[in-house]
Amino acid sequence: MQIARVALDVPLATLFDYFLAENMTVVEGQRVLVPFGRKQVVGIVLALSDTTELAPERIKAVEQVLEDVPPLPAELLKLLKFCSDYYHHPVGMTVLSALPTRLRGCQPVSLKQVLSYHLSLNGQVLDLTSLPKRKAVQLRLLTALQNNVLSTAQVRAISPTAPAALKLLIEAGWVETTAEHAKQQKFSFNEAHQLTQEQQTAVDAVNQALGYQTFLLHGITGSGKTEVYVHLLHQVLQRGGQVLLLVPEINLTPQLEYYFRSRFPDTELVSLHSGLSEGERTQNWLLAQAGQARIILGTRLAVFTPLPELALIIVDEEHDASFKQQDGLRYSARDVAIFRANGRGVPIVLGSATPSLESYYNARSGRYTLLKLGQRASALAQLPSVRCINISNALLPEGISKELLTALGECLLRGEQSLVFINRRGYAPVLMCTACGWLSDCPHCAGKMVLHLNDRRLRCHHCGYQTRVPYGCPTCGNADLQPVGIGTQRIETVLQTHFPEARVLRVDRDSTRNKGTWNAMRQQIQDEAVDILVGTQMLAKGHDFHNLTLVCVLNPDNALYSADFRASEKLFAQLAQVAGRAGRGDKPGEVLVQTSFPDHPLFRALREHDYDSWAATLLTEREQAGFPPFVFQVLLRAEGKQEEEVYNFMQQARSHAADLAMQVEIYGVVPAAMPRRANHIRVHLLVQSDTRKNLQQFVRSWRPQLEALPARNIRWSLDIDPLEF
């Protein structure tokens, strides 16, 4: 009897055995439909065997072998098994989570035929001069179609709005589609830029890599990392390979997508991120699996895409914390990408202006190859000058110092754009009663509710609870409730009052909630229909606004003395990134930082654009304190409604850990940084070791003990290489 060992989406660290009927053939990696409890579910065959440990009468049969899509390749299965093992997550859940949702269901899916577009008879006789000039994209499409049949990729390379324009042309009866396989595959590349010497050196180094090698591309903001990527892509695409390019934010994908399409107009590019519809995501995944898509641009989940011709992986902004998934399979897409490159024997490039200390340390110690871009790519663009404004003795009820207002006023007069950066949305972080000291605590969390003045509500940013702003103090009835502290909405109001003639635009999660809003705003900024931008870290990343010359940073000080040992690393990365928005065109940029600690080494390094000395300082601190990258950590988190139950569970977990007497250091059971969220008490326990191997050995022994502990009302999880505490 042949047995299929199947991975199912259930929280058990095991595979499930099913027998195969005589007439059934199946291979590893194939999807099958099997009975589970009273349901039918889709699983993936991970192994085939002649034997099973179960009694024959207990084994059920595979009901159907799904053959709508090709099986997952062995390389990907190996990667997923590694992730299950390393991150201590059930194997079935790990494997199934890598599939687009549609492939986890039993409805058959198929790769849609590639369409190509040509002019209809009516379209061929159309007089283009008779069309209104404002329909520019339609005109460009029609002109391109006069000489050629276009593929979907070529249509998209014409303009981000070309697919919509094309739809109108089809409806008008001027363009027709053909379903026959567009076997165009001619390859073109818009050279556009001459590489600088530094860029060329970096491109050559990666191109010369034989097999697996990790490169850290450390390039200051504006040094043209993207151009290096483009040239690397060019080489790989010419050889017929596929490139996986990971980016931290969905927000960055549309502009990058359009940029790469315009540079490689005939190449099939797909994006993979959670902002796509299920249908789109499935099609893009299938295009990648079929080898048709050559450039795969995606957020962290794209690291698990099957790629038969994978020849290069690029992780852009590799330091970004969003590469780490914070629930379910708590993986770091950057680390998984490195493992994948190693397994496939292909080079991987980690790019950043402010590398994570882990990567930087690996580059310094020779495990990674360091490539440096120390100059801005455009000869005219200089690094901005950075200046601190000491506010230790200033009272700033509205959050902005006189010097900042003056600088903003001068920038306005010059007709240039400025950006005011504050990483806190809402109007004020807390509302206070001036009579009794009442504060707007969240009733369900240990945090405060944030005042949102636009719709007069108090909102908890941790659990989502919200309520109307009360007319009087809930405790003493006093009507004088005052906002304390500043958020983006308040700064927007203050600036509007100070500069009534200026066009102020606020960009944060609240103002960009609706789909498409952020794209429209970015266009507004490009078109210089905005004078002052107020925003959170959304504005810090990757954007290139040519008339932006002044960046003002408010309130960065909290992170300087935070309990989180990574806070200052993150702050430096964030400030370097936001500072890098200034002066990208041909005008010099200036960055002003309001702080009470202008002499702090972080600001000194920022002023001198000296990442290396800052990183050296941090590494020394980390080594002395025994923190990563010098040690390896696992965090056990638990939460529950009853404080006693949670602590009981954790104390037992801790004593089991201690009894194992292995080469690890076990810390105490302590409250999480947010000790209560949505009425759940949150506690954690940190264990660390000098080597990855010792830590993994320890977790392998510890985990079965944790699973055996009574934990009826408790949710717990293990986080390997945790970033948040």
Out of 237, 460, 525, 631, the only residue in the binding site for Zn ion (CB under 5 A) is 460
State the minimum distance, in angstroms, from the CB of residue 528 to Zn ion: 40
State the minimum distance, in angstroms, from the CB of residue 699 to Zn ion: 32
State which residue, 458 or 685, has the beta carbon closest to Zn ion. 458
Instruction: Name the token pair of 608.
Output: 């001198």
State which residue, 10 or 435, has the beta carbon closest to Zn ion. 435
461 binds Zn ion (CB under 5 A): no
State which residue, 156 or 424, has the beta carbon closest to Zn ion. 424
State the minimum distance, in angstroms, from the CB of residue 666 to Zn ion: 31
State which residue, 40 or 434, has the beta carbon closest to Zn ion. 434
Residue owning tokens 């390859």: 187
Cα gap 599→596, rounded to integer Å: 9
State the minimum distance, in angstroms, from the CB of residue 457 to Zn ion: 13
State the minimum distance, in angstroms, from the CB of residue 475 to Zn ion: 5
Instruction: Name the token pair of 443.
Output: 């009733």
| Maximum pairwise Cα distance, the chain | 85
119 binds Zn ion (CB under 5 A): no
Q: Helix H segments across 580-711?
A: 601-607, 611-625, 643-660, 692-708
Cβ-proximal residues to 436 (8 Å cutoff; 6+ apart), any chain: 473, 475, 476, 478
State which residue, 187 or 438, has the beta carbon closest to Zn ion. 438
Interacting positions 428-457 with Zn ion (CB under 5 A) = 433, 435-436, 438, 442, 444-445
State the minimum distance, in angstroms, from the CB of residue 675 to Zn ion: 12
State which residue, 444 or 656, has the beta carbon closest to Zn ion. 444
Burial of 501 (0-12, 13-18, 19+ CB in 10 A): exposed
How many residues of this chain interact with Zn ion, rule: CB under 5 A? 15
Considering only CA atoms, which of 584, 581, 561 is closest in space to residue 571?
A: 561
349 binds Zn ion (CB under 5 A): no
State which residue, 353 or 460, has the beta carbon closest to Zn ion. 460
State which residue, 149 or 674, has the beta carbon closest to Zn ion. 674
State the minimum distance, in angstroms, from the CB of residue 477 to Zn ion: 7
Buried/exposed 131-165: b ≥16 CB within 10 Å, e otherwise: eeeeeebbbebbebbeeeebbbbbbbbbbbebeeb
Identify the H or E element spanning 504: strand 504-507
DSSP assignment letter at 223: S
State the minimum distance, in angstroms, from the CB of residue 103 to Zn ion: 36
Instruction: Name the token pair of 69.
Output: 């899509």
**φ, ψ dihedrals at 313, nearest 5°:** -120, 135
Would you give the binding string for Zn ion spanning residues 473-492, x where CB under 5 A is met? Answer: x-xx-x--------------
52-60 long-range contacts, Cβ below 8 Å, gap at least 24? 52/3, 52/17, 53/17, 54/17, 56/1, 59/3, 59/17, 59/18, 59/19, 60/18, 60/19, 60/34, 60/35
Considering only CA atoms, which of 288, 298, 285 is closest in space to residue 248?
A: 298
465 binds Zn ion (CB under 5 A): yes
**What amino acid occupies position 583?**
G
463 binds Zn ion (CB under 5 A): yes
State the minimum distance, in angstroms, from the CB of residue 487 to Zn ion: 17
**Structural contact between residues 494 and 427, judged by C-beta atoms closer than 8 angstroms:** no
State the minimum distance, in angstroms, from the CB of residue 647 to Zn ion: 22
State which residue, 21 or 476, has the beta carbon closest to Zn ion. 476
State which residue, 122 or 478, has the beta carbon closest to Zn ion. 478
Interacting positions 122-161 with Zn ion (CB under 5 A) = none
Using the contact rule CB under 5 A, the part of the chain among 104-112, 467-475, 493-501, 552-560 near Zn ion is: 467-475
Would you give the binding string for Zn ion spanning residues 388-427, x where CB under 5 A is met? Answer: ----------------------------------------
Rounded to the nearest 5 degrees, what angle is found at the Cα of 357, between the Cα atoms of 662 and 367? 75
* Residues of this chain that bind Zn ion (CB under 5 A): 433, 435-436, 438, 442, 444-445, 460, 462-463, 465, 473, 475-476, 478
